[in-house]
Structure 1
């Protein structure tokens, strides 16, 4: 007799519950067992060896494990990184057991419980100045560059009429946001003055706000541009510097009430590709984004107004961009919506041998579908309709949900 064994791949608890209930199991039993089916790895940095040994012992007692550096057991090294290895159920049990332990481990238990909770319930909404962007499905941010030198469409939409037509087209194709940029941030691009940037973007924002209902975002790292753009009708500020280039940006966004996207980059657009080496790429990007979020919160920007962008193509090599895409799920540990911007970028051209940005649509759509699978919620693209269809199709496959009228 054959029992037809096969592998099951379960990413989260809702999927685990569906599988168990599909067997005809009791719902209460499904709720208890689902956490056992989903495994997680949790990285802890610079843990004192005495604490690391307790973590190791507790995880082994629970039937899990913890990876530590050689020398930890005998405390011949002062600190070690730790990787906790176990199911969601075991990690939650660890949080309870750490409550009675010394050496600051109860505080770790609180942080770990918060992390596990954020993975179970990703953000459901992103707030702008006066709008709510619901994240019940993938959302598309359409790119509207009003610059002479953007890498993909520089010069095409510099006039008011052409920019208005393009903005209306992006809205008609299903854009959930329109991101307006007046300064190219492609690798090697020279900076422009705030006055010139304002001359480019303000007439477009004011006119487009009257023509479409789609929320607008201003792509800038200058606080003076952000302030004027939000006053003219922008709902969000998209800062490629993650609040690092202008010390007044966080306060400006807080005072304006706008939503905020913080992105990771290293160096200015003029210099960012000169050194793309990282000892720990994802760790450094996460730490930088966490710092940007802390800065935003300290300035008074509400949690539901914040989103993150790992900065594909900004201070990263081809291999680095691919690594971020592979490990995109790790960015959910920050607890904020993830914006992914891969559209027509150079790393796609390098992989596929395409020198012209306009040839990179299919490569872009592959990254969009992969991004949906890895939990990104917002996608910044030039080609709205193809990206929207790719994202919604991937989402339907993953979630089993669809809307024929959406």
Structure 2
């Protein structure tokens, strides 16, 4: 079997207040153009969300559906070869999104709505099992503590993965996500990377959402707009240790990092070799 690079999941936010893109894809046409761009750059999954992860203006179910479902339907038509993911913690939103063409549910709030995984199972689509330490959606962590953050992440995400399969989610379409920054501080985020081998050893495909996160900003003392280098360093480290997918803002740069990492490991060949060979 030929080696495949880790999957790149591109972030497309249908929100006016995202921490990184500041609403650049809130308008319908801007979102579609961004989807076209990231697919051209090599994204295998396009993750579309309608609610900012952190605190902010309230977004009800109807508004979240209005933001994400038409975009999902349009992208499904434009790019049928790409997996569309819906980033939501609400079962009602996921149901409508799947009917519009989504094939993966990215539950970043760790089963806060217990019916969400059931919806994924009923439709036989993929599911991302995350870990938040019980934090309520759209809230920030406060003085969090784990006796062993890796042990807890593994216990929770693998339990959820098994539950997802029991609900009907195809086993090969389940990811576990340690969920950096959600219910965790910077020291936890670094330990998740340091011990990533333990996550990979569970046998479940690991998805990591590292892109421009606060744990990178605090580690390097960089503001949001200056975290790309730190993100790519963490990506290379994780890819070399078997992480299967990365949720990212910078798609082209991530694809290059993944290919370079794989080439160093001897898993893929260089794309264009002429130096010293002629």
Q: TM-score, normalised by structure 2?
A: 0.92
RMSD: 1.8
Q: Distance in 1 between matches of 2:235 and 2:144?
A: 23
1:158 and 2:26 aligned: yes
Runs of 4+ in 1 over 2 A off after TM superposition: 188-192, 269-272, 399-405
Determine the C-alpha separation between the residues in 2 that align with 1:159 and 1:353: 32
> Are the aligned partners of 2:109 and 2:137 in contact in 1 as well (CA < 8 Å)?
no
Tell me how far apart the structure 1 counterparts of residues 58 and 182 of structure 2 sit (CA, whole Å). 15
Does the alignment pair 1:253 with 2:155?
no
Q: Does 1:174 align with 2:68?
A: no
CA displacement, residues 102-159 of structure 1 (integer Å, 9 cap, x when unaligned): xxxxxxxxxxxxxxxxxxxxxx9xxxxxxxxx97221111100111122111311111
CA contact (8 A) 1:308 1:337 kept: yes
**Does the 8 Å CA contact 1:373/1:395 hold for their aligned counterparts?**
yes
Q: Which among 60, 63, 66 is matched to residue 193 of structure 1?
A: 60
Deviations for 1:283-340, whole angstroms, at most 9, x for unmatched residues?
Answer: 1111111221122122122211211111011111111100000101101232111101
2:184 alignment partner, SS class: coil
Bigger Cα Rg: 1
Report if aligned partners of 2:52, 2:138 keep a CA contact under 8 Å in 1.
no
Ranges in structure 1 where 5+ consecutive residues have no aligned partner: 1-123, 125-133
1:29-40 to 2 correspondences below 5 Å: none
Judging changes above 3 Å, is the alpha-carbon distance between structure 1 residues 263 and 189 closer, same or farther for their aligned structure 2 residues? farther
Q: In structure 2, how many angstroms separate the alpha carbons of the residues matched to 1:371 and 1:190?
A: 34
Deviation per CA, 1:3-32, whole angstroms, max 9, x where unpaired?
xxxxxxxxxxxxxxxxxxxxxxxxxxxxxx
State the distance in 2 between where 1:395 and 1:337 align: 17
Equivalent of 1:274 in 142, 155, 179: 142
Distance 1:248 1:154 in 2: 31
The aligned residue for residue 170 of structure 2 is 302
Match for residue 186 of structure 2? Answer: 318
- Structure 2: which 5+ residue stretches go unaligned? 273-278
Q: What secondary structure does 1:334 align onto?
A: coil
SS at match of 1:179: strand
What is the alpha-carbon distance in structure 1 between the residues aligned to residue 48 and residue 142 of structure 2?
A: 27
- Give 1:184 deviation, angstroms: 1.0
Which structure has more RCO (C-alpha within 8 Å, separation ≥ 6)? Answer: 2
Q: Are the aligned partners of 2:42 and 2:251 in contact in 1 as well (CA < 8 Å)?
A: yes
